[in-house]
Amino acid sequence: MIDALPLKDRVAVVTGSARRIGRSIALELARRGASIVVHSLADEAGAQETARLVRGLGAEARVCLADITTEAGAAALVDVAAQAWGRLDILVNNAAVRRPVPFEDLDFAEWRAIMAVVLDGTFLCCRAAAPLLRASGQGRIVNIGGITSHIGAHERAHVVAAKAGVVGLTKALSQDLGAAGVTVNCIAPGLIEDPADDAVSSGFRRRHTPLEKIPLRRAGVPQDVAQAVAVLCCDEMAYVTGQTIHVNGGVFPW
């Protein structure tokens, strides 16, 4: 018999969950029974809306606005879970910034700004969460990478480098945390579109991944990524760690 709530009594932190992929991940984990800490840097309205939707699914939710590029911000985010439920079982590092910049215009400040969110933020949240994830006995970390870190992309040297770093960190942490039963994996989405996306951002994404290059001949939706994340968080995938799972419609079958 399939368990309708395989994540019942577990607690998840999802960074960058005020909208789009992060929101879908939070909702999918909630559907499977998890309590959710919804995170955003500053979008309180979006975060509160995600929390409202989580509660509508019968799960508990808390909201935390925090700057995860700082040690204090990452610690505060994890502490919300500890204070509300006394535990943390799942950490999904989804928060990212993907501003396109031609390489000749890419200054060090912009390079560091992207690295701070994508790579430093992932590291800081993992480090802050590690004690509780070890104590869980069924800890899960899922990092959100991207197809461009494997195939490259125009005007995204900073983003590609940061996401590639996330893949390396995933492999390293799978070794460091494995003895405690904590699995660490990465989901690399391909072209993902949301009905709320504006025409400019959608057009930029399709420049990198035209539909005709995707074997399934369609863009993915946030729910495609969310379901992959949720599966990795369930007990059935407890022997999978250190892996990058590609969710891209077959455009990069590796």
DSSP 26: H
Measured from the Cβ of residue 248, the count of other Cβ atoms closer than 10 Å reads 24
Pairwise pLDDT comparison (213 vs 231), residue with the higher score: 231
pLDDT at 4: 86
The pLDDT assigned to 203 comes to 63
Asked if the structure places residue 101 within a domain, the reply is: yes
- Provide the pLDDT for residue 25: 98
Does residue 100 fall inside a structural domain?
Answer: yes
> Domain range spanning residue 43?
11-247
Give pLDDT, residue 187.
98
Q: What pLDDT is stored for residue 26 in this prediction?
A: 99
Sign of CA dihedral 6, 9, 15, 18: positive
Residue 252 lies in a domain: no
pLDDT confidence of 59, banded at 50, 70, 90?
A: very high
Q: Label residue 119 by pLDDT band (50, 70, 90).
A: very high
From CA 128, how far away is CA 67, in angstroms rounded? 13
Number of other CB atoms surrounding residue 2 within 10 Å: 4
Q: Are 140 and 90 in contact (CB under 8 A)?
A: yes
| pLDDT given at position 96 | 96
Confidence of residue 210 (pLDDT cuts 50, 70, 90): confident
Please give the average per-residue pLDDT across 44-58, as a whole number.
Answer: 98
Per-residue confidence band for 252, with pLDDT thresholds at 50, 70 and 90: confident
pLDDT score, position 122? 98
When pLDDT is averaged across residues 106-134 and rounded to a whole number, the result is 98
pLDDT computed for residue 253 by the predictor: 73
| pLDDT higher than 60, residue 7 | yes
pLDDT on residue 219: 93
**Domain-embedded: residue 221:** yes
- Domains: count for the chain: 1
- At 122, which CATH number? 3.40.50.720
| DSSP assignment of 113-156 | HHHIIIIIHHHHHHHHHHHHHHHHSS-EEEEE--THHHH--TT-
Q: What is the pTM of this model?
A: 0.95
